[in-house]
Amino acid sequence: MPAAVPFDPQAVAAAKPVERTPREGVTTHRVVCSTCDIACSVVTEVKKGRVVRVRSSDNPIFRDNICMKGIIAPKAFANPDRILHPLKRVGARGSGEWQRVSWDEAMADIGQRLRSIISEYGPEAWAVSTSQWNTCTDHGLGRRVMNHVGSPNWISGVALCAGNTAAINRMTYGWFPMGDFNNTKCIVLIGHNPRRHSWTPIFNFIRSAQARGAKLIVLDPRRSSNAEVADIWLPLKAGSDAAMLLGWLKVIIDEKLYDQDFVTRWTTGFDELCARVNEYPLERVAELTGCDPEMIAKAARLYATGGPAIIPWTPITDMQRNSTSGIRLQSILRAICGYLDVPGGETLQGFNPDIVPESTIEMHEVLSDEQKAKQLGSDSHPAFTYRGQQAFTEPMKRVWGHEYPNQITGCYMANPSATFRAMAGEGPYPVKAFFSLGNNTVLSYANMPLIIKAMMNQDLIVVHEHFMTPTAQLADYVLPGDSWLERPWLTDGFGWMSSYRASEKSMDPPGEAASTFDFWKKLAGAIDRPEIVPWTDLESFYDDRLRGTGMSFTEFNRSTEMYFAKPEFRKYLDTGFATPSGKVELKSSVLESLGFDPLPYFREDPPLDPDYPLQLFTGVREDGYFQTAQRQVPEMRQRSPEPVMFVSPGTAQAYKLIEDEWVAVENQVGKISVKVGVRDAMPDGLVRIPHGWWKPEMKQGAGHLSGALEYSDAQLCRDDEDYLDREQGIPHLKGVPCRIVKLAGQPGGVPGSDRELAV
């Protein structure tokens, strides 16, 4: 995790209040920022047809929810390197030789080639990777087209970040809850560290709750900025979340601090859970986590008795060898302590009854069982695949009114590693066409060498993007995507919430940049299936989805900044839970039926390899960057010009590391170059690796990939079985063995050697 945002009292005192009076010649629009995945409600100011400023919303419920990435957006999207026209590859794959073509030419060829691949290999030979918080206007249309065509092989970064959390939460109580920050009395942060400029609304929520008197418990190996202001900080070993939560359960059950009435009436498998928890006495948990047993017990007691409490979603538990057990343990704690669907606890919101959800748009029901069974990875790691979620079809219909509610787009996915292996010719059948939309695939999953091999083995790669990313550099077609300043949007947090927000289009897209909606509509036409996407444009699509509100999209947008569903709590009293038993399944019947341990457990690290004595974790972002983006934005790059690893002063001393020197970090699967950052907040022996690094100014094309081969953390992320969660097959990114090797000087491909970054 990067250092905390500097909090300088003098600078804060000198900060000017925001001027809200309209400026001359400026029109304003209410917009939802999509620079990152948090979706802040903001206001854009437009002059001469351009967005010239982004500021926070005037609505007090969204006040101050804006960060440095949001305010720089007008310039970030005006970058001279932005792709403005469709490009067709004319040389060898990755040669960097492109020809400008029209959208019509591109889509006609793409459609013809996709049909040819499907005809030769079957529809499952087409895979798509996307990140819908980037593409936004996908709205499930990609799944809809794939379902009609017959391909189940859709993957996304949500496989290891929130999407998998949603799928696993359902194993316990049939939905993915949203914490009620406004009424909670206790917040548990597991590893993640919302800051002023990263996950800004969550930072705002947490600090506001603390100001009201709520307690904060932080589980984090680092002394993060949230750990520094926590009531209890447990500096657990990286990757030991599940062991820690088993310890919490041991305390809570032994001391009978749980909601006994709820457990009796609404859960199954409590006795079996108790037996499993008894395998984890606090002494063992202390050994596994490296934490003081008394502090573990104190934290558990505070969570159980200081509520209502919330454990907000954390991507950290998502990315561990014991991810399924860790997520299940969070779910079990929420349930047995009586925090499910109560104010200040974890709300199960369901869908807004007035608006057609994206899950309906996706039309999973049209994909045949035969094709669903071909979903890659579902044989060995089925948890978030169709197979793993099949048992929820009836319960979801019964409780939430929908057979395939695809929360966070993550409940019916193919496994990414299995998909890349099939693309590389190492799977049960070939995958020969790959579409990547708003998703820098090469850098966004584990085992980057496999991903590159997979891409080099494709007959057709289509990328919809803003910039010539490493992924785009390997494509057959690169199509220009629009930005959140240039399109309308409608969001319910991908089915996480029952409230909706609309976003106005603020300006026209530059060049021929087009929305993901347009892309899917054009593709449906290009494969002679125009009826799949029948809406003429995005606005008419929204009009259709909003019909139940009695408003058009324009009217909806004018009427409110947030469209709430009627709030209800403890809905399970009427409907039960959306699990096969109708109760909270502490012992999961679904995991059991899939052949897995139905109770949470902790799988320890493989034996230590003395050649790799340190442990790394990755997945952490700098404030100025969201995932692999924004490296071409000068203001952001000036803040973080190079990838920097963090180590403790003790580790730096042991390995004779000097601040700012270049080193290589290596493990059994790869090597990257980073600069050294010595940080007091880091524990000894742990190495923080920054996520998503490449340098847009460096040499493009195969063998170079703009520095990705030198800097991308995906090269250190392994996906062999010892480092995969069993049930989901997602990689362990928190505590991977590594070593640090000193470099003589700067790594090859010196920044700026190829061309200068436009300022």
Partner 1 sequence: MTANERDLRRRERSAKMTLWLADHASRNRSLFDRLCRKLLARATRKQAGQDFMRDPLIDNDTGFDPDELERYQRGE
- Catalytic positions are 37
Distance CA 533, CA 149 (A): 13
The SS3 of residue 673 is strand
> What b/e readout covers 290-319, taking b as 16+ CB neighbours within 10 angstroms?
bbebeebbbbbbbbbeebbbbbbbbbbbbb
The answer to whether residue 45 forms part of the interface with partner 1 (CB under 8 A) is: yes
* 3 scored as a contact of partner 1 (CB under 8 A): no
- From residue 176 to residue 215, what is the string marking binding to partner 1 with x (rule CB under 8 A)? ----x-xx------------xx------x--xx--x----
41 or 151: CB nearest partner 1: 41
CA torsion, ordered 272, 274, 277, 278, to nearest 10 deg: -110
Closest distance of CB 178 from partner 1, Å:
13
Torsion of the alpha carbons at 358, 362, 365 and 370, rounded to the nearest 10: -140
**Residue of the chain from 14, 24, 213, 369 that contacts partner 1 (CB under 8 A):** 14
Choice from 567, 641, 649, 748 touching partner 1 (CB under 8 A): 567
758 counts as binding partner 1 under rule CB under 8 A:
yes
The interface with partner 1 within residues 58-77 (CB under 8 A) comprises 59-61, 63-64, 66-68, 71, 74-75
Work out how close the CB of 83 gets to partner 1 at its nearest, in angstroms, rounded to a whole number. 13
550 near partner 1, judged by CB under 8 A? no
Number of residues that bind partner 1 (CB under 8 A): 60
Q: Angle at Cα 700 formed by Cα 698 and Cα 705, nearest 5°? A: 90
DSSP 314-335: -HHHHTSTTHHHHHHHHHHHHH
Establish if 28 lies at the interface with partner 1 (CB under 8 A): no
Q: Who's near 98: CB < 8 A, 6+ residues apart?
A: 87, 88, 89, 90, 478
Q: Which stretch binds partner 1 (CB under 8 A): 9-17, 134-142, 282-290, 328-336?
A: 9-17
User: In sequence order, which residues have a C-beta less than 8 Å from that of residue 417 and are 6 or more positions away?
Assistant: 377, 445, 446, 447, 450, 719, 724, 729, 731
Tokens representing 436? 């990547």
- Judged by CB under 8 A, the stretch of 5-13, 573-581, 603-611, 746-754 that binds partner 1 is 5-13
Task: Give the interface segment with partner 1, choosing from 4-12, 532-540, 719-727, 737-745 (CB under 8 A).
Answer: 4-12
Does residue 11 touch partner 1 according to CB under 8 A? yes
Instruction: By CB under 8 A, name the one of 564, 659, 660, 721 that touches partner 1.
Output: 564
Choose the stretch contacting partner 1; rule: CB under 8 A; options: 15-23, 87-95, 125-133, 456-464: 15-23
Tell me the window of 274-282, 336-344, 535-543, 735-743 that interacts with partner 1 (CB under 8 A): 336-344
For partner 1, the binding residue among 22, 91, 343, 752 (CB under 8 A) is 343
- Regarding 744 and contact with partner 1 (CB under 8 A), the answer is no
Closest Cα to residue 460, out of 104, 111, 719?
111
Residues 136 and 351 sit within 8 Å (Cβ to Cβ) = no
* Lookup result for tokens 């100025």: 624
Within 10 angstroms of residue 91's Cβ, the number of other Cβ atoms is: 11
> Taking contact as CB under 8 A, which single stretch among the options 394-402, 429-437, 515-523, 561-569 is the one that binds partner 1?
561-569
- Which listed residue (22, 78, 555, 611) binds partner 1 by CB under 8 A? 78
The tokens for 205 are: 């929520």
Interface with partner 1, residue 562, by CB under 8 A: yes
Count CB atoms within 10 A of the CB of residue 661.
13
- What are the φ/ψ torsions at residue 129 (nearest 5 degrees)? -120, 125
Q: Which two tokens stand for residue 187?
A: 């917040």
Distance (Å, rounded) from C-alpha 493 to C-alpha 649? Answer: 41
Question: Given the complex with partner 1, which of 79 and 589 has the nearer CB atom?
Answer: 79
- Tokens representing residue 49 in the block: 């047809």
List the x/- string, 292-331, binding to partner 1 by CB under 8 A: ----------------x-----------------------
Distance in angstroms (rounded) separating the CA atoms of residues 355 and 12: 42
CA 596 to chain centre: 25
Among residues 478, 545, 537, the alpha carbon closest in space to that of 513 is found at 478
Pairing of strands 671-678, 662-666: antiparallel
Site string for partner 1, 463-502 (x = CB under 8 A): ----------------------------------------
Report if residue 560 touches partner 1, rule: CB under 8 A: yes
Please give the residue ranges that form the binding site for partner 1 (CB under 8 A).
5, 7, 9, 11-18, 45, 47-50, 52-56, 59-61, 63-64, 66-68, 71, 74-75, 78-80, 82, 180, 182-183, 196-197, 204, 207-208, 211, 308, 342-344, 510, 559-564, 567, 569-570, 758
